[in-house]
Amino acid sequence: MKVHMVTHWMGYRGPKQPWPRIVRYLRDHLGWSASYKLDPGADVNYILTYSVGMRRYDHPWDVWRGPTACRFEERPAYGLKARLWDEGINTASLRLSEARRHTEWLQQFGPAARVRFFPVERDLFIPVDRPKHERPTIGVVGYCSGMTGRKGQVLVNQLAHYPGAQHWRVKAAGMGWPVKTTEYHYRDLPRFYQSLDVHLCPTLSRDSPTSPYEALACGVPLVIPRGVPLLDELPFTLGVYRYEQGDFDDMFRMLAQCIDELGTYDRQALRDLTVDMTPHNLCFDHERIFAAHFGGLTCTTI
């Protein structure tokens, strides 16, 4: 069975998105093809991101009537992404998500399955010993673009100017944050996490962020919002602190508690929370799920 991946993330090799790495893993280990367009010669077209993969077509779900698999996040509120979501959710043959709760919700529209997306290269993201900072260092990660503010830039700006946080240092990796920000190549990104005392995830979206898992692999404690399905699956353990999404006061309280308890958590225990999020499991899940749903899938050995 020929599976073709539709994505526009093929050529970018920086840290902006995990999709180029996901495409490379599936291509190299399962022998799947990939391009920017639907492949009419494929048995299954796999649309990794329904919005970026299909926006080049006026009505993409009318262009291709064959079997399709597609990963869906929460429905966007408006615009082209919302229209593509609405057209795709009832048309796709198989709906994929990385979060159990969201996968269960998708089942109302048809067949759905959970895949361990967003693999962490655990041989690259590792804990290191370093001298203690004079000022506790908090880091955020991501590329902020557009006017939605969904990455939580407002919360970070509040934190940077909050009197109670004046003895803390706040910095960022990526682009567009209202604090000192450095852009890293993916293979250099572990150095950023390894320099942190705390990784803050300020997202206002329910979409799955990857940075908390990269931080955990480096043994860095987290302050994360409740209500993000994938993050809600993390166990309640020392070193993982939760606040009400979008609530600055609650976020600040959890940051203060995390900083007060620095040195009391087990870095290896935090790293172990990522043990299943590997490239091997990404490929294994896809092979298993596509074989079960579409049948007859063959691939190279992982």
- Residues 56, 155 within the same domain: no
Note whether 282 and 30 are within 8 A (CB): no
Contacts of 82 (CB under 8 A, 6+ apart): 75, 76
Where do the DSSP E strands lie in the chain?
3-6, 33-35, 44-47, 68-71, 94-97, 112-114, 137-143, 169-175, 181-182, 198-200, 222-225, 240-243
The Cα 44–Cα 4 span in angstroms is: 6
What are the pLDDT digits (tens) for 25-48? 999 999 999 988 888 899 999 988
- Residues 152, 260 within the same domain: yes
Task: Reply yes or no on whether the pLDDT at 19 is more than 90.
Answer: no
Note down the domain range covering 267: 137-272
- Residues 225, 99 within the same domain: no
Instruction: Give the pLDDT of residue 85.
Output: 84
Instruction: Give the pLDDT of residue 38.
Output: 86
Name the band, by pLDDT with cuts 50, 70 and 90, for residue 174.
very high
Residue 178, domain CATH: 3.40.50.2000
Tell me if 253 is assigned to some domain. Answer: yes
Which is nearest to 93 in space by CA: 140, 136, 46? Answer: 46
Tally of structural domains, the chain: 2
Tell me if 13 is assigned to some domain. Answer: yes
Instruction: Give the pLDDT of residue 207.
Output: 84
- Residues 92, 144 within the same domain: no
How is residue 216 written in tokens?
């955990």
- Residues 164, 229 within the same domain: yes
Task: Reply yes or no on whether the pLDDT at 299 is more than 50.
Answer: no
Vertex 140 angle, CA 162 and 165, to 5°: 20
Tell me if 24 is assigned to some domain. Answer: yes
- Residues 89, 150 within the same domain: no
What are the pLDDT digits (tens) for 48-105? 876 554 555 544 555 567 899 999 988 877 777 788 888 888 888 999 999 999 999 9
Tell me if 130 is assigned to some domain. Answer: no
Any bridge partners for residue 47, and if so which?
6, 70
Taking the CA atoms of residue 241, residue 243, residue 246 and residue 250 in that order, the dihedral angle to the nearest 10 degrees is -110
**Average pLDDT score, the chain:** 88
Task: Reply yes or no on whether the pLDDT at 279 is more than 50.
Answer: yes
Instruction: Give the pLDDT of residue 147.
Output: 65
